[in-house]
Amino acid sequence: MAKNQADLFDKLDKAKVQFYHLKAVVIAGMGFFTDSYDLFCISLVTKLLGRIYFHVDGSSKPGSLPPNVAAPVNGVALCGTLAGQLFFGWLGDRMGRKRVYGITLMLMMLCSICSGLSLGSSPKAVIGTLCFFRFWLGFGIGGDYPLSATIMAEYANKKTRGAFIAAVFAMQGFGILAGGMVSMIVSAIFRAIYKAPPYSVDPIGSTPPQADYVWRIILMLGALPAALTYYWRMKMPETPRYTALVAKNAEKACQDMSKVMELEMKVQKEASTATEEEDKKQQQEEESNTAFGLYSKEFLRRHGRHLIGTTTTWFLLDIAYYSQNLFQKDIFSAVGWLPPAGSMSALEEVSSIAKAQFFIALCGTVPGYWVTVALIDYIGRFAIQLIGFFFMTVFMFALAIPYHHWTLKSNRVGFTVLYGLTFFFANFGPNSTTFIVPAEIFPARLRSTCHGISAASGKAGAIVGAFGFLYAAQNQDKAKADPGYPAGIGMRNSLIVLGVINLFGFLLTFLVPEPKGKSLEEISGENEQGHHDDRTP
């Protein structure tokens, strides 16, 4: 590695924690706050959409989204996210992290607002435009995954890099909390102004016309946190590692860092002392050793196993994680934790679902994220991922095998505790580490692309979870299944399947390396000289 680059990276790796590190966490993290709010708030309003647009006169149950509507409403944003992760991950390595970062945020803001302004009054028009804008919302969200992870990894020092990337991702938990809180507040305001009886008393009157504003407001407010951080995202300089290793301008990287971090003035001075001839020779050696592309045999030799590990574990994790998150309302209803829909008005049901999601996020999801932040640079990514998958498997089987026991009213608290623990160990586990590791183990010129591929594999799993769980969890007796749905394998068997999936995730974790305590260049092999060292990093 050329001396000016090596000196810069050494200073970055050894830099003490500075204000700019914390600022970068907040700026990148607010993107993830927005991502999780936008992705998961839809689960809070789908039952309301069913009541408003799919009411059936004379039915003993409130209206619900039919299968051909529920599937796209729940899953279309995930499809957009998958596409966005692949596209913006690739673009981030071609155009730079910073330039693409602003595009994704603008897209998220615009589509959040447009989702709430879904046009028309007929069910077909409203749902059609809602799905259209949520696809492009997901497309923007998808870009945030590889870019936020890569940016934070390339700024951080090697001692606390895991904690910084984990802290960015941990903002997801606050986004889920915010979705529940906003839903409770908005529904409470409308309930206070527009009184409505339960569905069992007055099927029509239980859903006041003004309820149509509730879901729109909840979705549109997702644009607010993104808008608040847009200016600061645009003020961030390009990451030093992209500028030095991909754009081949180490001097510019030093200048950029001197503006935002205390140590970089010294780095710039030291970097300029290397002779031009020596610098050029070392740079040519580095390029000859690391010029392989994504589809080359050299990449397959060095990183093929790692890419298989990151993609498969993220795929399996997201099947379980998104099944649990998107269909919390159905799981809680199945075990009787939520009151029967017919005993509530439409806005009461929104509030009840939001309270349940808020409670689980507060007690299980958010603590899991921040325990990861605290411990990841001490016990490592590999250990946390194994621990997480192991306990997710244990608790999922503990819920599934004695499932009838948990449906009894006296045991619902125990069910909630175990269910919350699965979320805790998802986040103090693979939901965090599958995001962190791909940002650390691949070369700079392929880092965003490989993270995007890994993340897209995860979203493929989320799509399987979102669409598959919707049908699989239906009652085995078709007469007891939701209207329009075929018989499924039941909630108990669905939870068993999720437990098996977590077990496979545990086993495939052994394909993933441990980056703790190493520089990015050491992990990726970008500090290898010539062809004398054939180690697989």
Which residues does 84 contact at the CB level (< 8 Å), separation at least 6?
104, 138, 139, 140, 141, 142, 143
Report whether 264 contacts 257 (CB < 8 A). yes
Q: How confident is the model at residue 530 (pLDDT cuts 50, 70, 90)?
A: very low
Which pLDDT score is estimated for 491? 77
Report which of residues 412 and 133 the model is more confident about: 133
Among 57-71, 110-124, 448-462, the range of highest mean pLDDT:
448-462
Which pLDDT value is given to residue 527? 64
Q: How far apart are CA 136 and CA 152, in angstroms?
A: 25
d(CA 364, CA 379): 21
**pLDDT value at position 273?**
47
> Is the pLDDT reported for residue 484 higher than 70?
no
- Say if residues 31 and 229 touch (Cβ distance below 8 Å): yes
3-state secondary structure of 428: coil
Model pLDDT, residue 333? 65
> Mind listing the pLDDT tens digit for each residue in 491-502?
788 888 889 999
Quote the pLDDT of residue 42.
87
Q: What is the pLDDT, as a whole number, of residue 529? A: 46
Residue among 204, 298, 253, 219 at smallest CA distance from 45: 219
Q: What is the pLDDT of residue 534?
A: 37
Cβ-contact 38, 77 below 8 angstroms? yes
Which of 361, 385, 376, 395 has the alpha carbon at shortest distance from 507? Answer: 385
Kindly report, residue by residue over 164-204, the tens digit of the pLDDT. Answer: 999 999 998 899 999 999 999 999 999 999 988 988 888 89
Task: Write down the mean pLDDT value for the chain.
Answer: 83
Q: Is the pTM of this model over 0.75?
A: yes
Determine the average pLDDT of the residues in 138-143. Answer: 92
* Tens digit of each residue's pLDDT (9 = 90 or more) over 350-395: 998 898 888 888 887 889 899 999 999 999 999 999 999 999 999 9
Q: Which two tokens stand for residue 474?
A: 């239906």
3-state secondary structure of 81: helix
265: pLDDT strictly greater than 90: no
DSSP characters over 161-191: HHHHHHHHHHHHHHHHHHHHHHHHHHHHHHH
pLDDT digits (tens, 9 = 90+) for 316-356: 999 988 777 655 655 666 656 677 888 889 999 899 889 88
Which DSSP state fits 121?
Answer: S
Q: Under a CB-based contact definition with an 8 Å cutoff, are residues 322 and 466 in contact?
A: yes
Q: Is the pLDDT of residue 49 over 70?
A: yes
Nearest to 22 by CA among 117, 152, 134: 152
Nearest in space to 482 (alpha carbons), one of 373, 324, 333: 333
